[in-house]
Amino acid sequence: MSNQMEVKQEFSEVCKTEIDDDAVDDAVLDTFKIEIKEEPKKESACDALDSVDLKEYPIKTEIEQNGVSCEDIQNDASSLLKYTGNNLNQNLAASSDVNIGENHFECEICSKHLTTSFSLKVHMRIHTGEKPFTCKICLKRFSTNTHLTDHMRVHTGEKPFSCKICTKQFSHSSTLKSHMRVHTGEKPFTCKICNKQLSRSSTLKSHMRWHTGEKPYECDICTKSFSTNDKLKTHIRVHMGEKPFTCKICNKQVSHSSTLKSHMRAHTGEKPFACEMCTKRFSMKKLLKSHMIVHAGEKPFSCKICNKEFSHSSTLKSHMRVHTGEQPFTCKICNKQLSRSSTLKSHMRWHTGEKPYECDICPKNFSTNDKLKTHIRVHMDEKPFTCKICNKQLSYSSTLKSHMRAHTGEKPFACEMCTKRFSMKKLLKSHMRVHTGEKPFMCKICNKQISHSSTLKSHMRAHTGEKPFACEMCTKRFSMKKLLKSHMRVHTGEKPFTCKICNKQFSRSSTLKLHMRVHTGEKPFTCKICTKQYPYSSSLTAHLKTHTG
């Protein structure tokens, strides 16, 4: 064979032979300038990791040497190697394990069988963690050159694989293959524990962590752990303050796409999650899950201070502020501080006058749903609260609390302008009108202005003549309960009011008040004709007759 030989032939055939790269001497290949370009049909990057069992290879060969052509190059790898000389044949003989269809190489760690020593070498990197291929841009390391090549597309932005259905482009063929299952609905991966079917092996791997509770991805900032790297990346936005998702309606920015999706339901009113036990619907799955605890009666959250149990962690968190005194929510109008956001929301309605909760039975409206529920008891005649002292039944817990003060004599509400104290806050509020002169209630018949609604009600009886309070001992009737109570002393002889100067007793406080003028010398009634003064109006009336004759 002359050194002037020139052989140049290109062919592309399928060679069903596995070639160990260690069996080929680089020096011999350099002599003949042989270039073997291998294009494996990859299923996925993961498949390439586990094994490089090269089942079918299109082999493109070029042999160049000056001056001579050879027409006898054969199609298979053995014929090709025969033309490269004895040295190459010896190397081929030394690697006599290259066989078709047989797995002669076994991993000593996991017993996996591989077809070539090269496949075994690559496979061993799974066990050793060896990653000899390094990205020069980000220094990330890979176990195979193929994976490095795929990775480079992250930096170049190259997406050579396109979906023929929706034209979406992908960096890797394996990603395209997974994407196609979106269109086909194929779910080839099945969980052996719950039989759930999934479209991707990576999704199955993540799903399995739900069963095992494994969370291998840990946040470096707060030590919180996550089951997937994607969840960790999403979580990092909390620390970075990053909010890449914007609502197109109200421009609110949120950290997660799922949060944006949930937020949009606030605008649309959509509530896709329905409770199977009642008619309630929810905009978020976690709200439904939280609601289901109500039906189960489960209260898994317990206060460590008072042992009170709660259905939800958020309720426990709010409850803890009772013990700590924390009031993190401030009203921007009056600067009042409140312990709960819901209480602040209700409080704001006090400023705006908004009462969105309407009674279906009567036209009354309320600022909170709790107040509406409490009001409904009036119509239902429901009285779930009982006094343990006198067995009186009451509709509201607040009314029972106020009622108990009648037994204890407790009057916690004090007037700052006088010494009077009251058992109820509303009584103090009503009393303050004595000092302020405020008269917010007006009679529609005579336009008289009155301080209290109860006084207006009594005043109206002067126009109607109604006297609903009857004495059981005589025929007298009264328009007001206090008048009946005062009248009853005529029958009982009771005189509860005593003069502190002369110890004289009276049945009425008004009579004692008049009597006190004897001791004080007070004469508030003056004659306009002669300016003479009298302690009683009856005395002035008698005096006026002396002027008229």
How far is 11 from 257, CA to CA, in rounded Å?
Answer: 52
Task: Choose among 462, 457, 461, 423: nearest CA to 442.
Answer: 457
Three-class DSSP category at 529? coil
How far is 341 from 348, CA to CA, in rounded Å?
Answer: 11
Q: Could you give the number of structural domains in the chain?
A: 4
* 173 and 91 share one domain: no
* 148 and 196 share one domain: no
Task: Work out the pLDDT band at 30, boundaries 50, 70, 90.
Answer: very low
* 43 and 97 share one domain: yes
Task: Choose among 145, 111, 121, 137: nearest CA to 42.
Answer: 145
Confidence (pLDDT) at 103: 54
With vertex at residue 94, the alpha carbon angle to CA 89 and CA 99, rounded to the nearest 5 degrees, is 90
Three-state SS for 27-94 is: HHHHHHCCCCEECCCCCCHHHHHHCCCCCCEEEECCCCCCCCCCCCCCCCHHHHHHCCCHHHHHHHHH
Which tokens sit at 138? Answer: 């980000």
Three-state SS for 280-311 is: CEECCHHHHHHHHHHHHCCCCEECCCCCCEEC
How far is 205 from 329, CA to CA, in rounded Å?
Answer: 43
* 80 and 201 share one domain: no
* 104 and 233 share one domain: no
How far is 16 from 58, CA to CA, in rounded Å?
Answer: 9
Confidence (pLDDT) at 102: 54
Task: Choose among 466, 467, 443: nearest CA to 456.
Answer: 443
* Amino acid at residue number 418: C
Residue 59 near residue 38, CB atoms below 8 Å: yes
Residue 310: CB partners within 8 Å, gap ≥ 6?
299, 301, 302, 303, 316, 319
* 336 and 321 share one domain: yes
Residue 384 near residue 378, CB atoms below 8 Å: no
Please report which residue ranges of 186-247 form alpha helices under DSSP H. 201-212, 229-240
How far is 412 from 285, CA to CA, in rounded Å?
Answer: 46
With vertex at residue 451, the alpha carbon angle to CA 448 and CA 452, rounded to the nearest 5 degrees, is 110
Helix (H) or strand (E) holding 404: helix 397-408
Domain boundary (254, 281, 297) is at: 297
Per the domain annotation, does 347 fall within a domain?
yes
* 197 and 308 share one domain: no
Per the domain annotation, does 310 fall within a domain?
yes
CA distances from 436 to 415, 442, 443, 451 (A): 12, 17, 20, 10
Question: Whole-prediction pTM value?
Answer: 0.33
Per the domain annotation, does 448 fall within a domain?
no
Which tokens sit at 280? Answer: 């309630």
Summarised one tens digit per residue, pLDDT across range 311-352 is: 888 888 889 988 998 999 999 989 999 888 888 988 888 888
Bridging pattern class, strands 449-450 and 441-442: antiparallel
Residue 10: CB partners within 8 Å, gap ≥ 6?
60, 61, 62
Residue 402 near residue 409, CB atoms below 8 Å: no
Q: Please give the residue that has the higher pLDDT: either 157 or 49.
A: 157
Q: Domain of 293?
A: 215-297
Per the domain annotation, does 263 fall within a domain?
yes
* Amino acid at residue number 404: M
Confidence (pLDDT) at 549: 67
Task: Work out the pLDDT band at 92, boundaries 50, 70, 90.
Answer: very low
Per the domain annotation, does 465 fall within a domain?
no
Domain boundary (254, 278, 297) is at: 297
Summarised one tens digit per residue, pLDDT across range 363-372 is: 888 888 888 8
Residue 146 belongs to domain with CATH number: 3.30.160.60
Point out the least confidently predicted range of 9-13, 404-408, 489-493. 9-13
Residue 52 near residue 118, CB atoms below 8 Å: yes
CA distances from 417 to 215, 403, 414, 420 (A): 65, 25, 9, 9
Per the domain annotation, does 432 fall within a domain?
no
Which tokens sit at 72? Answer: 């006898």
Q: Please give the residue that has the higher pLDDT: either 360 or 99.
A: 360
Summarised one tens digit per residue, pLDDT across range 168-222 is: 898 888 889 889 988 998 999 999 999 999 988 888 988 998 899 899 999 998 8
How far is 197 from 217, CA to CA, in rounded Å?
Answer: 24
State yes or no: pLDDT of 82 exceeds 50.
no
State yes or no: pLDDT of 20 exceeds 60.
no
Task: Work out the pLDDT band at 512, boundaries 50, 70, 90.
Answer: very high
* 24 and 149 share one domain: yes
* 103 and 189 share one domain: no
Which tokens sit at 215? Answer: 């969370």
* 16 and 124 share one domain: yes
Per the domain annotation, does 112 fall within a domain?
yes
Residue 162 near residue 173, CB atoms below 8 Å: no
Bridging pattern class, strands 133-134 and 57-60: unpaired
Residue 183 near residue 170, CB atoms below 8 Å: no
Per the domain annotation, does 196 fall within a domain?
yes
Confidence (pLDDT) at 521: 92
State yes or no: pLDDT of 33 exceeds 90.
no
State yes or no: pLDDT of 2 exceeds 90.
no
* 18 and 151 share one domain: yes
Q: Which residue has the tokens 């003549």?
A: 465
Confidence (pLDDT) at 410: 92
Which tokens sit at 496? Answer: 């509860």
Domain boundary (297, 330, 361) is at: 297
Strand partners, 442: 449
Task: Give CA 162 to chain center in angstroms.
Answer: 38
Beta-carbon neighbour count of residue 310 at 10 Å?
Answer: 17
* 44 and 132 share one domain: yes
Q: Is the dihedral of CA 418, 421, 425, 428 positive or negative?
A: negative
Q: Any idea what DSSP says for residue 8?
A: -
List the helix and strand counts (H, then E) for the chain.
Answer: 20, 35
